[in-house]
A and B are shown apart, each in its own frame.
Chain A
Amino acid sequence: MPSLMGILLKSLLVFPLVLGLLFSTQNYTPKQSSHFSPADTSQVPSSFGFGRLATQTEIDRIDIDVRPDGKGLPQGKGVAAKGKLIFATKCAACHGAGGIGGPNGSLVHSQVDPTKKRAEKTIGNYWPYATTVFDYIRRAMPFNAPGSLTNEEVYHLTAYLLSANQIIDSSFVVTPTTLPTVKMPAQPLFVPDDRKGGPVIK
């Protein structure tokens, strides 16, 4: 047998306004939303108090990202000559000698293959920010030993790849202050998405 409360709740769903008037003394404030659920009367607190505050040490341990303005770059510096040696031993097997034509893709821009409509996308012709080179190598490379490079090695590799792509001079010293100033040739190509739905194909 359905309880009186059950019947009332069911009626509530159907006649929220009418019952709202009838039961106004009981503080019912029925909503007109189709998702109205009479059972959910709880208040959402401003804080649940779950989880704990993070300490600066805890943040620093895994906060490894680097922004285009250089925020996040660690202390250190790198030069192309040293990066070239590291690249030959730790990267060339997958990305080719001098960063061209390896099984996992070129990183250095070279002569356009005349059989292809477009040149292979590389740091030299496609990457819009130099900081991304540092950020990505540090977080993900070498593919088979991720996270194994020291910050110093990453600086040298960044200098080497930028110099091999003829974006910086071979004598350029990559530091937390100089890296964000490097202008990438592809940067002006980048535009934000302007698709908005509707009948237009973009």
Chain B
Amino acid sequence: MKNKIIELTQRDTKISRRKLLGGAATAAVAIVQTAEGKNVQAALSQAQLLDDDPTKKLGTFPGKIGTRSSFEQLVKDPSETSSRSPLQDFYGIITPSDLHFERHHGGVPVIDPSKHELLIHGMVNKPMIFKVADLKRFPSVSRIAFLECSGNFRSGKETLRPQEICGLTSQSEWTGVKLSTIFREVGIKPTATWFLAEGGDAAVMTRSIPVKKGLDDVIIAYAQNGEALRPEQGYPIRLFVPGWEGNTNVKWLRRIELSDQPFMTREETSKYTEFVNGKVRQFSFDMDARSIITFPSYPQQVEKGWIEIRGIAWSGRGKVHKVEVSVDAGKSWQIANLQEPILDKAHTAFRYLWKWDGNATEIMSRVTDETGYTQPTLKQLVEARGESNGYHFNPITAWQIKPDGSVLFKPESFR
């Protein structure tokens, strides 16, 4: 009995201790560990014992919607312009919809789906308007793929979590109608080579996308992970452009215009372009392959002995071919296990079993995709581009393991 009490109280010291102060009769004594790690003796009331034992209390009846356990504290990391996914708290490859990263340029609009319409015009035979309900009548497709902002990089200090470093990537199952199906319905002119996608938010955000990509695998998505899109993800409809930089995946889609040239909108000129060797690289759509170890990572703590290193890897150009892990600061690399499914343009989970001897070291991962591209070091990237900042930064991320088991990000200086 006493063992059980210790177990129970240690599981959530804060709650137990708070309840304790108000408790009347003392029924048992337990060893409680404080937040500072000190063991203290604490008394437990009879009511408290019953409270903490789920086999002694009737549970909650079935409800209308499920809830996350109150013991789980998963939150995005919002700033004025974006909100980052807690990669270090995830298992598997699907991002819970409410934790999908956010990036928008004029806030999240409230759109009534019964009033929302999509206009397709320009170089088409039949300019047409589709209501959301019309789009849902067309043959549908579903696809699991990642979505990543091309500005997904942060560095500069040791106390950064995967969320801060690279939390502008998420993965969902997207369902909708293929853009090619809609192109067929309106009859696009053979001379149309680009199309403009425009959002119905306060930024009325626009991007130009080659028709070739539109015919290939672009989806007008109305659902995400089995339900309608979340407002932050473009409710009621968004473009989903597999493997391409997040900004092209225009949310709250209201208009598509076919053209024989790009429109040179602000988001493809002033933004989402990067200096490369003195020039400005434009229309850099593909997301280069990237991986990150999410466990162990800051602020987690590890113990000597067996550690399963876990992470995700992905490429905007196809499937993950292999992931390698180094546990000796990049001196040698070992092949990690890939978890099925290994999907095209999708986060893929990897694992590597490691026996840590307790000495300080650095661990890191690098991915190679099916085109033969291997994730570079920061140094390689800077050398190739002659620049130390900008979009499309996908360097290898290293974690320092300290002898006391603490894990810290390794911010590399490159300026």
Interface residues of A (CB under 8 A from B): 44, 46-48, 50-54, 58-59, 62-69, 117-118, 121, 123, 126-129, 131-132, 135-136, 139-140, 143, 146-147, 186, 189-193, 195-202
Whether A193 pairs with B284 at a CB distance below 8 angstroms is yes
Whether B279 pairs with A197 at a CB distance below 8 angstroms is no
Whether A201 pairs with B376 at a CB distance below 8 angstroms is yes
Q: Closest CB of chain B to A167's CB: distance in Å?
A: 15
- Contact partner, B269, options A48, A128, A191, A195, Cβ 8 Å: A128
Q: How far is the CA of A50 from the CA of B139 in the complex (A)?
A: 11
Q: Closest CB of chain B to A35's CB: distance in Å?
A: 12
Whether A186 pairs with B280 at a CB distance below 8 angstroms is yes
Whether B134 pairs with A190 at a CB distance below 8 angstroms is no
Q: How far is the CA of A53 from the CA of B120 in the complex (A)?
A: 10
* B342 in contact (CB, < 8 A): no
* B105 in contact (CB, < 8 A): yes
Q: Closest CB of chain A to B134's CB: distance in Å?
A: 4
Q: Closest CB of chain B to A71's CB: distance in Å?
A: 9
Residues in A whose Cβ lies below 8 Å from that of B45 = none
- Contact partner, B119, options A59, A136, A146, Cβ 8 Å: A59
Q: Closest CB of chain B to A190's CB: distance in Å?
A: 5
Residues in B whose Cβ lies below 8 Å from that of A197 = 286, 317-318, 369, 371-373
Residues in A whose Cβ lies below 8 Å from that of B286 = 193, 195, 197
* B285 in contact (CB, < 8 A): yes
Whether A136 pairs with B138 at a CB distance below 8 angstroms is no
Interface residues of B (CB under 8 A from A): 105-106, 119-121, 126-131, 134-135, 137-139, 184-185, 196, 198, 202-206, 254-255, 257, 259, 261, 263-266, 269-270, 273, 275-276, 278-286, 288, 317-318, 369, 371-374, 376, 380-381, 384-385, 388, 415
Whether A50 pairs with B185 at a CB distance below 8 angstroms is yes
Q: How far is the CA of A192 from the CA of B261 in the complex (A)?
A: 13
Residues in A whose Cβ lies below 8 Å from that of B285 = 193
- Contact partner, A121, options B270, B276, B376, Cβ 8 Å: B270
- Contact partner, B280, options A52, A132, A191, A200, Cβ 8 Å: A191
The answer to whether A140 and B129 touch (CB under 8 A), given A195-B286, A197-B286, A197-B317, is: no
Residues in A whose Cβ lies below 8 Å from that of B130 = 50-51
Q: How far is the CA of A129 from the CA of B278 in the complex (A)?
A: 19
Residues in B whose Cβ lies below 8 Å from that of A118 = 275
Residues in A whose Cβ lies below 8 Å from that of B280 = 126, 128, 186, 189-191
Whether A129 pairs with B264 at a CB distance below 8 angstroms is yes
Q: How far is the CA of A83 from the CA of B280 in the complex (A)?
A: 29
The answer to whether A193 and B282 touch (CB under 8 A), given A121-B270, A143-B106, A201-B384, is: yes
Whether B138 pairs with A48 at a CB distance below 8 angstroms is yes
Q: Closest CB of chain A to B178's CB: distance in Å?
A: 11
List the A residue with the shortest CB-CB distance to B203.
A140
Whether A135 pairs with B266 at a CB distance below 8 angstroms is yes
Q: Closest CB of chain B to A130's CB: distance in Å?
A: 10
List the B residue with the shortest CB-CB distance to A143.
B106
Residues in B whose Cβ lies below 8 Å from that of A140 = 105-106, 202-205, 266
Whether A193 pairs with B371 at a CB distance below 8 angstroms is no
Whether B255 pairs with A62 at a CB distance below 8 angstroms is yes
The answer to whether A146 and B257 touch (CB under 8 A), given A50-B130, A67-B263, is: no
Residues in A whose Cβ lies below 8 Å from that of B275 = 118
Residues in A whose Cβ lies below 8 Å from that of B205 = 140
List the B residue with the shortest CB-CB distance to A140.
B203
Q: Considering the complex of A and B, which 4 residue pairs feature the smallest CB-CB distances, nearest first?
A: A197-B371, A193-B284, A51-B130, A136-B266
List the A residue with the shortest CB-CB distance to B267.
A136
Whether B202 pairs with A128 at a CB distance below 8 angstroms is no
Residues in A whose Cβ lies below 8 Å from that of B385 = 202
Whether B265 pairs with A135 at a CB distance below 8 angstroms is yes
Whether B255 pairs with A63 at a CB distance below 8 angstroms is yes
The answer to whether A146 and B121 touch (CB under 8 A), given A54-B129, A191-B281, is: no
Q: Closest CB of chain A to B406's CB: distance in Å?
A: 32
9 other A-B residue contacts (CB within 8 Å) besides A131-B264, A190-B269: A64-B204, A65-B257, A126-B269, A132-B264, A143-B106, A146-B106, A146-B204, A197-B286, A197-B373
Q: Closest CB of chain B to A82's CB: distance in Å?
A: 23
Q: How far is the CA of A128 from the CA of B263 in the complex (A)?
A: 12
Residues in B whose Cβ lies below 8 Å from that of A54 = 119-121, 127-129
Q: How far is the CA of A143 from the CA of B369 in the complex (A)?
A: 40
Residues in A whose Cβ lies below 8 Å from that of B254 = 62
List the A residue with the shortest CB-CB distance to B285.
A193
The answer to whether A65 and B374 touch (CB under 8 A), given A50-B130, A53-B127, is: no
